[in-house]
Amino acid sequence: MTQYIIRRILLAIPVIIGILIVTFAMARLIPGDPCRAILGEKATQAACERFIKDFGLDQPITTQFWIYIKDLARGDFGTSIRFGRPITTILIERLPMTIELGAIALLIAVSIGVPLGIISAVRRNSAIDVVTMIGANIGVSMPVYWLGLMLAYLFALVLKDTPFSLPPSGRLTAGLSPTPFYEVYGLELAKDTFLYAASQFISNMYILNSLITRNWVILQDAVRHLILPSMALSTIPLAIIARMTRSSMLEVLKQDYIRTARAKGLLEKSVVLKHALRNAMLPIVTIIGLQVGALFAGAVLTETIFGLAGVGRMLFEGITARDFPIIQGFTIVIAVSYVFINLLIDLSYVFIDPRIRLN
């Protein structure tokens, strides 16, 4: 297994380099002038010339790319043109938000999509199967931005002043502020160290930080603010997972060993969950892993609609402002995360089906 992991990591390097090249090139092909996008349309020619020189945009593209690769090899993602802050610092602030949103959305998609797919397969062509598949087709076709706006309108305006009312934007209610866990427990951490950066990263996950500090008020408020964006973001993955689960289960339920298990008098619950589902898990797990990439893509619109300060919204702002370091830094982090998650999915095959060997 160790050789397999090393081989997969080595194979991922050309993929990441290719993503770097494409992202670097496309960021500079975006129509518009980064100077006037950041300094404003009334920026003088002299100001723009100084701006371009300060950020090295006057150098050849190949030179800019080589400088970026050298900085990246040292762990330096560069400095934001718009904000004048290190990309690493912005990632520590923004990535935890997206991780929380994506984790909750994926949890919703899996916890609802898999059971619906199983029920639809077991009760094929029944009313519940038809309703589930119609709902899945609608879910796949429904734009995230439209659903997000409709959810915000329904729960924030129509159901206002009712127990079902939910906040339409933001991470916390105004006036609430979480205290980092390392401050609560009096931990002395030296700044500009990896441990301090990791502690900040964890603290910016409001749900995790509130669990560590046992701040139930912050926990409840943070969860309430993530319900609507998580529902909007999870719709398409939920529908795809439900359809894949149904298809995979139907294929397995036709097998001879399922008929044998039923002939032996095993309970239907045991036949479905213990025999059929386990053998149908490989394609289900694969599609779940692929949906992680879809969650990152959907987060761009979802975070923008619901006013969440995450990676997706920052990436949108970076593209709008022609902020090349933000576009490149955030894209490479998303790409590496996607490659790592797919590696975990491949490794999980061994535990799901022991007949598989990673040679």
Q: What's the whole-number mean pLDDT along residues 11-16?
A: 80
Query: Which of these, 79, 82, 88, 69, lies nearest to 13 by C-alpha position?
Result: 69
- Indicate the helix (H) or strand (E) that contains 88: helix 87-122
pLDDT tens, position by position, 21-58: 887 787 777 776 677 667 767 777 787 778 777 777 77
Token readout for 175 is 């006036």
pLDDT of residue 209: 92
SS3 122: helix
Q: Within a 10 A sphere around the Cβ of 25, how many other Cβ atoms? A: 11
In the chain the domains, ranked by start, together with CATH numbers, are 87-171+229-307+327-352 (1.10.3720.10)
Residue with the bigger pLDDT between 12 and 128: it is: 128
CA dihedral 275, 279, 285, 287 (to 10 degrees): -120
Average pLDDT, the chain: 84
Contact 136, 243 (CB under 8 A): yes
Q: How far apart are CA 233 and CA 248, in angstroms?
A: 24
Q: What's the whole-number mean pLDDT along residues 139-158?
A: 87
Q: How far apart are CA 320 and CA 336, in angstroms?
A: 23
Query: Which of these, 328, 311, 301, 333, lies nearest to 30 by C-alpha position?
Result: 328
pLDDT of residue 217: 92
Query: Which of these, 16, 74, 78, lies nearest to 325 by C-alpha position?
Result: 78
**pLDDT above 90: residue 207:** yes
pLDDT tens, position by position, 102-144: 899 999 999 999 999 999 988 888 888 899 888 888 888 888 8
**pLDDT above 80: residue 219:** yes
Token readout for 356 is 């598989």
Contact 118, 249 (CB under 8 A): yes
Q: How far apart are CA 227 and CA 201, in angstroms?
A: 22
Q: How far apart are CA 126 and CA 43, in angstroms?
A: 65
